[in-house]
Structure formats: C-alpha cells, structure tokens
C-alpha cells in the first residue's frame, strides 16, 4: 500500500431486497384505531414489507448483497471488507456482518456492524470510503438491513404504522483513472443529549431481558414522534448544508437527493429548505415505510435500476436516526 497516494471511491453496484409479505394500511385498520387516510396524509406510507418467520437480517442482507455484487460484475471473493448497518442484528453476538460473510461465501475479511440506527448506511458508506481512499481496500460491501417488526408493538398506533423490514447494499470500489465518480464531502453527527426521543429500552446491559421487561413492553421501540419530526428536519438540513458548503456546490447542481424515508412530510420540509423541487428527490416510502438503516440504500438501488440515477450525476444522501445520529454525503455517481 502506497501511504501517500489516495484514491476516489465509486459505487460499482447496488442491490436491494424486500420480503414478500406486505402489511397495508387497510390491514392496520383492523389491528389498531387508525385509518388509511390518516396514515397517508401524515406519513405518505401505504405498505410495509414484513420478513417471514425465520427470515433474519443476514438473510435479507444476503439477497441485497448478491444483487449488488452481480450489478458490480464482482463475486463474493472480491470483497475486502463487509459493513452491515443495522439496529436489528440477527443477535448481539456474533455480529451480522460475520454471519453475512459466511452466508455469502466471502473471504475471512474485516466484517463489522455499524450501529447508528437510521443513519447507519450513511455512516457505513463514509467508513467504507476511508478504507478505499487510503488504498487499504478495493471493494467494500456496505449493507443497510433491518428486520424491525419484532421490536414494534402492533397494538400502538403511533409506531406500528411506520416501520417495515428491508435490506439494501452497495459495493464501494476504487474508481479507475477514467471514471470520474467521487465522494466529494460528508458530514456526520451524533447528539446523545436528545437520545431519549427514540429508544429501544431493553436487551442491553442497562435493562437485560426479564419477565418484567416483557410485561412492560420495554422490548418495543418508543418514540416522541412530534419532537423527532422537528429534529429530523433540522439535522438533515444542517448536514446537507455542511456537505454542500464543503464542496462549494449550490443546491441547484444536485441531480438527486436520496433522504432517509421516515415520513414524506419530513422529506418535503428538507427539500423546501434548499429550494429543491420534489421531482429531484427519490421518494420510495409509500411501498416500504421506514426501514431504518435500509431506507437510503433501497431508495438508491430503486432509482439506479429504473434509470432515474445516471453516471456523472451529483447525489446528496442524508439521514437521521436514533442517537440522535444524522449525516449527509455529497457524491458524483
Ligand atoms: N392513526 C390515527 N390517529 C393517530 C395515529 C394513528 N396511527 N397516531 C397518532 N394519532 C393521533 C394522536 O393520538 C393525536 O391525537 P390527539 O390530537 O387527539 O392527541 C393526533 O393523531 C396527532 O398526533 P401527532 O403525534 O401530533 O401527529 P403527527 O402529525 O406528528 O404525526 C407521526 C405522527 C406520523 C408519528 C409523525 O410525528 C412522525 O412521523 N414523526 C417522526 C417519526 C419517526 O421518524 N420515527 C422514527 C425516527 S428514528 C428512525 O427513523 C428509526
């Protein structure tokens, strides 16, 4: 490895996978006191995919990764590092990245989970970029994957309408001399002072599982929806502002914004803040809901595969999540 030379990274392939089972607003109407109209108007979500019994985060990751590798024209043997961004790992140990490495048949490479909730994929892509930039690794598999439904209380209407299961993956590769792709700038932050806005209380050292935990429903996610909404708009706007400023690029030069898909009104507010028209924003929330670390990468994959995103375009990725974590990446695709 040459310690002075640096390299540019390029997304060489993308892939995603949504489980077969679908839970629509009409299904939810039969489960809690809500309506299709309320959910559509307040969130923009119609359906969420739910993993089958026994279908775990590494299984979703595997399917998305295989598609990303195929799109990149690579095999599992080419992968130098695996990062899995997830808030819903298969289990606390071993990490999901190692499980994926084995299922994928990849070499015994560095395999790491990234825990940054819904910002996890954006965090992971930045981590991968550092290894490609220095020349340490040539192809890094970055996955955003969640099986969230076990952490959702389907008796609580404020949370159960939001979340779904999904996985997306990219291969981040070293760009060749004649390829002009590049990660121009990134900005990541974490603010633990407002960490209580979105929590999964039990299952860690603070509150190990017990009979009481189950009785009190502390194994389910809890959130302050209205507060999160406000901070989501603020933090994603801040992060986007920072990456544009760092590269001296006006919002008008952004070809596509790919934001975390938590609520369509949050996305609209961020776009409005930058004067970016909604037809330059990739919105895939209607058919998948909030899939946490998977949303940005699944939306990216869908827009690449249907031809909206083309080589040479400027992409602005942004996300926020529990922590509160947030981030943005400005790149030439
Ligand atoms: N159906 C019908 N009514 C409902 C429902 C529902 N599913 N949920 C809440 N309501 C009611 C409330 O009880 C409230 O009634 P009240 O006025 O009588 O008290 C009313 O609707 C308005 O509630 P609000 O919470 O003010 O509604 P809001 O417009 O803020 O929408 C929502 C709620 C959709 C949760 C919104 O705040 C939101 O999306 N917040 C962000 C949530 C989020 O992104 N969470 C994850 C963040 S971290 C991560 O992504 C992992």
Compute, in angstroms, the gap from residue 42 CA to the centroid of ligand 1: 7
CA 297/CA 76 separation, integer angstroms: 19
Please name the residue whose Cα sits nearest to atom 39 of ligand 1: 263
Please name each of the domains of the chain with its CATH number: 9-174 (3.40.47.10), 182-332 (3.40.47.10)
pLDDT of residue 4: 82
Residue tagged 């708009």 (tokens): 233
Q: Which of 118, 160, 239, 240 is catalytic?
A: 118
Contact 165, 22 (CB under 8 A): no
Verify whether ligand 1 is closer than 6 Å to residue 273 (CB atom). no
Concatenating the DSSP letter of every residue in 69-118 gives HHHHT--GGG--EEEEE-SS-SSSSS-HHHHHHHHHT--S-EEEEE--GG
Contact 52, 21 (CB under 8 A): yes
Contact 9, 128 (CB under 8 A): yes
pLDDT of residue 1: 57
CA 77/CA 95 separation, integer angstroms: 20
Contact 79, 137 (CB under 8 A): no
Please name the residue whose Cα sits nearest to atom 42 of ligand 1: 225
Record the pTM.
Answer: 0.96
Please name the residue whose Cα sits nearest to atom 13 of ligand 1: 158
Concatenating the DSSP letter of every residue in 170-200 gives EEEEEPPTT---EEEEEEEEE-GGGGGGEE-
pLDDT of residue 3: 67
Compute, in angstroms, the gap from residue 223 CA to the centroid of ligand 1: 10
Verify whether ligand 1 is closer than 6 Å to residue 285 (CB atom). no
What are phi and psi for residue 305, nearest 5 degrees? -70, -30
Verify whether ligand 1 is closer than 6 Å to residue 42 (CB atom). yes
What is the dihedral sign for C-alpha 92, 94, 96, 99?
A: negative
Verify whether ligand 1 is closer than 6 Å to residue 265 (CB atom). no
CA 272/CA 84 separation, integer angstroms: 32
Q: Is 273 a catalytic residue?
A: no
What is the dihedral sign for C-alpha 65, 67, 68, 70?
A: positive
Pick from 17, 13, 15: nearest CA to 288: 17
Please name the residue whose Cα sits nearest to atom 11 of ligand 1: 158
**Average confidence (pLDDT) per 10 residues, the chain, 333 residues:** 84 98 98 97 98 98 98 98 98 97 98 98 98 97 98 96 98 96 98 96 95 96 96 97 97 97 97 94 97 98 98 98 97 98
CA 80/CA 78 separation, integer angstroms: 6
pLDDT of residue 2: 55
Verify whether ligand 1 is closer than 6 Å to residue 292 (CB atom). yes
Q: Which of the listed residues 23, 28, 32, 42 should we mutate to test ligand 1's pocket, taking the one with most ligand atoms within 8 A of CB?
A: 42
pLDDT of residue 78: 98
Q: Is 2 a catalytic residue?
A: no
């Amino acid at each position: 490895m040459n310690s002075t030379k640096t390299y540019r990274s390029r997304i060489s392939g993308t892939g995603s996978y949504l489980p077969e089972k679908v839970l629509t607003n009409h299904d939810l109407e039969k489960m809690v006191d809500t309506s299709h109209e309320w959910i559509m108007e307040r969130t923009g979500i119609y359906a969420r995919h739910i993993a089958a019994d026994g279908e775990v985060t590494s299984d979703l990751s595997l399917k998305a990764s295989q598609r990303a590798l195929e799109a990149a024209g690579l095999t599992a043997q080419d992968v130098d590092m695996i990062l899995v961004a997830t808030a819903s790992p298969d289990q606390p140990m071993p990490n999901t990245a190692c499980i994926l490495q084995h299922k994928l048949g990849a070499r015994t490479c560095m395999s790491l989970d990234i825990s940054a909730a819904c910002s996890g994929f954006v965090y992971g892509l930045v981590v991968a970029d550092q290894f490609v930039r220095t020349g340490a690794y040539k192809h890094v598999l970055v996955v955003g994957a969640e099986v969230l439904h076990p952490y959702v209380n389907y008796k609580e209407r404020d949370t159960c309408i939001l979340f779904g299961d999904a996985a997306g993956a990219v291969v981040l590769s070293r760009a060749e001399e004649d390829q002009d792709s590049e990660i121009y700038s990134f900005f990541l932050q974490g603010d633990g002072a407002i960490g209580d806005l979105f929590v999964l209380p039990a299952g860690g050292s603070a509150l190990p599982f017990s009979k009481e935990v189950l009785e009190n429903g502390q194994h389910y996610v809890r959130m302050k929806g209205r507060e999160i909404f406000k901070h989501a708009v603020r933090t994603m706007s801040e992060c986007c502002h920072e990456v544009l400023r760092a590269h001296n690029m006006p919002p008008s030069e952004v070809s596509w914004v790919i934001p975390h898909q938590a609520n369509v009104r949050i996305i609209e507010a961020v776009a409005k803040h930058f004067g970016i028209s909604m037809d330059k924003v990739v919105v895939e929330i209607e058919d998948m809901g909030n899939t946490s670390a998977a949303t940005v990468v699944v939306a990216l994959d869908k827009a690449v595969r249907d031809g909206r995103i083309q080589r040479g375009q400027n992409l602005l990725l942004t996300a926020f999540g529990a922590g509160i974590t947030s981030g943005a990446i400005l790149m030439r695709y």
